[in-house]
Amino acid sequence: MIVTTEELMARLRHAEARLQRLDDIEAIKSLHRRYIRKLADRDWDGMADFFTDDAVTDIRWHGRTEGKQQLIEQVFDELHKLVKSADGYILSSPVIEIDAGADVAYGEWTWHRHICEFRTTGGYMRVWGPWLEGRYRCQYERVGGEWKFKDMWFRVVLPDADPEQHEMRERIAGAEPHVTGEGIMQR
Per-residue model confidence as pLDDT tens digits over 29-72: 999 999 999 998 989 889 999 999 999 999 998 889 999 999 99
Residue 160: its pLDDT value, please? 85
Nearest-CA neighbor of 89 among 164, 37, 138?
37
What value does the mean pLDDT take over residues 69-76? 95
In CATH terms, the fold of domain 5-185 is Nuclear Transport Factor 2; Chain: A, (3.10.450)
pLDDT of residue 103: 97
Mean pLDDT of 114-128: 74
CB within 8 Å of 170: residues ≥ 6 apart: none
Specify whether the CB–CB gap between 130 and 123 falls below 8 A: no
Overall average pLDDT of the 92-121 stretch: 89
Q: What pLDDT is recorded for position 85?
A: 73
Per the rule left: phi > 0, alpha: psi between -120 and 50, beta: everything else, 157 is: alpha
Decide if pLDDT at 126 tops 80. Answer: no
- For residue 186, the model assigns a pLDDT of 37
Higher pLDDT pick, 13 / 170: 13
**What distance in Å separates the CA atoms of residue 74 and residue 42, rounded to the nearest whole number?**
16
Percent of residues, the chain, with pLDDT higher than 70: 86
Where do runs of H (alpha helix) occur along the chain? Answer: 5-40, 68-71, 77-82, 165-173
Res 18: pLDDT: 93
Express each pLDDT in 159-185 by its tens digit.
Answer: 889 887 677 666 656 544 433 333 333
pLDDT at 124: 74
Q: How confident is the model at residue 83 (pLDDT cuts 50, 70, 90)?
A: confident
Nearest partner of 125 among 133, 135, 115, judged by Cα? 115
Q: What is the pLDDT of residue 82?
A: 84
pLDDT confidence of residue 112: 94
Q: Is residue 17's pLDDT more than 80?
A: yes
Classify 147 as helix, strand or coil: strand
